[in-house]
Amino acid sequence: MAADYTTGVSDQAYPSGPGLRPTTAVGAFVGRDESAFARACDPQVFDWLDHVKAAAGCSHPIRLSGEVATIDRATGRLLASVSTADLPDGEIYKPCGNRRHAVCPSCARTYQRDAYQLVRAGLAGGKGVPATVAQHPAVFATFTAPSFGPVHTQRADRAGRPIPCRPRRQPDLCPHGVDIRCHQLHADDAPTLGTPLCLDCYDHHAQVVWNHCAPELWRRTTIAITRHIRARARALGLPWIVQVTDSGKVRRVPPVKLSFGKVAEMQRRGVVHYHAVVRLDGVDPHHPDAVIPPPAAFGVDDLAAAIAHAAATVAFTTRPHPVGPAGWRITWGDPDKGIDVRPVNADGDITDSRVAGYLAKYATKSTEATGHVSRRLDGDTIDLYANEHGTHPERLIDACWTLGGHRDWQQLRRWAHMLGFGGHFLTKSRRYSVTFRLLRDARIIWRRTETGHEYPDQQNDDTTLIIGLLSYVASGWRTTGDALLANTAAAMARERAEAARDELLAAA
């Protein structure tokens, strides 16, 4: 089935031109079926489909106009020039590249596949990462936030059987007179799941501050894990590595390094928690950037102990605020319940493929789990989403806006649409794996090799210079008919590719 093309139409007036129904009034509506029929009857429809192929599945493609020039670096002579005026619609269509599945399913699918390859390469090798990383000690760790008040949740007994949310024999009244008992077995899609049992008792201010400080808490945690690993190396009597820098300076470094890749997941209660793959690497004195196995004395247990120690001890207090004069204490959740560390191995339940798929899935999500989806908010739109006496997400947004009114906390207003969290949803250490850019460049080269098309920027980068004189025109498809045809063609192409992949797997 095609993507949601009805939301990807440009808000500009529908233009007239070849294959389009002329319009005279600004904002005049061209019927979806009629405009699609007009485009399909255009003799150049296949040229147009080939032209928009790169962005065919995108919900909100970016349209650019101008020209692309190829210049000789040595002489400055113009070798070639391509103007968008000579292309269909006079524009170039570029995918929006949004990672959020709720905004653009097509671009999010591409991002998810790249994230899968990035995470898995750090566990199994490939994509330029040596295959020996599969033998390095690695764990899959989950770091959760502390409690800010009781919420509706799913519980199970020791045998794994579901039990009621919060059963009590006698009424359990909070200070606001609300009975916070709950005898229900919540389903996975229950709308009340993750909402506070009493909205007035819940500490919304502390939660948005915790979201805002979560990246700093993670940074301090990685430092604590590294220090614990170094202390373990000293206890084992392992010698430090002597390295000589490019400037000739001699330095001593520990024989083991920490590498990680992590994603942030927004829970239904509106607070982030981290899923991380943490790996131990050795140090090559002659090649500092090389990825080699750590000393044999180190194992998965040493890494798990370092993570558990850091999660239990790392904490800090924020700067003061008029709402919280003493600041807020930022820590991870209960070490016995909030931290889960499991070894990654090829034979157990936690394999590299499952971990990579799990992390890639959450890399394309944001605040959808809380029921809130919006872009960045400002003074004109904040009243549409914030209400100090409203729903749980509305109170969280209001807390961001209220606390962000202080000059030292202005960033909370900037990230109010993210419930205070301003970090990246997928990050990694430099040595862990490849980068998104390398994966995208490899995909571009593969597509050009597959199609056999010639591109101006395929010339020698040492002798030529590509200059794009392009300007932004609009976002979204020109008409709903264009969106219908482009997204349908992309859906059919995906179906053929999946069928071909299934046949290859069956033949193998």
- Which residues are 472's β-sheet partners? 64
Of the CA atoms within 13 Å of residue 306, those in its CB half-sphere come to 27
CA distance 359 to 245: 36
State the pLDDT at residue 451.
58
User: Which residues, 6 or more positions from 416, have their beta carbon under 8 angstroms from its beta carbon?
Assistant: 377, 382, 385, 386, 397, 400, 401, 404
Q: Which string of DSSP letters, residue by residue, matches 310-350?
A: HHHH-EEEPPP-SSSTT--EEE-S-TTTTEEEEE--SSSSS
128 closest CA partner among 117, 137, 136: 117
User: Which residues, 6 or more positions from 157, have their beta carbon under 8 angstroms from its beta carbon?
Assistant: 163
State the pLDDT at residue 247.
75
Cα angle value 408/414/416 (rounded, 5°):
105
State the pLDDT at residue 222.
95
Q: Tokens representing 320?
A: 């003061």
CA distance 232 to 110: 41
| Type of residue numbered 263 | V
Going from the first residue of the chain to its last (508 residues), give the mean pLDDT of each consecutive group of 10, the final group possibly shorter: 42 38 36 67 83 86 88 82 86 88 88 92 90 92 93 89 90 91 90 92 96 96 95 91 77 89 92 94 84 90 93 94 94 78 81 90 86 87 93 95 94 94 91 90 77 48 75 88 84 83 79
State the pLDDT at residue 346.
67
State the pLDDT at residue 68.
85
Q: Tokens representing 330?
A: 């930022």
341 closest CA partner among 380, 372, 311, 373: 311
A 10 A CB-CB count for 205 gives 22
3-state secondary structure 37-91: HHHHHCCCHHHHHHHCHHHCCCCCCEEEEEEEEEEECCCCCEEEEEEHHHCHHHC
CA distance to 218, 261, 460, per residue, from 387 (Å): 30, 36, 58
256 and 298 in contact (C-beta within 8 Å)? yes
State the pLDDT at residue 88.
86
- In the chain the first and final C-alpha atoms are separated, in Å, by 28
- What is the distance of C-alpha 208 from the center of its chain? 19
Domain spans of the chain, in order of start: 1-61+476-508, 62-94+435-474, 105-148+203-428
A 10 A CB-CB count for 34 gives 14
226 closest CA partner among 199, 257, 269, 198: 257
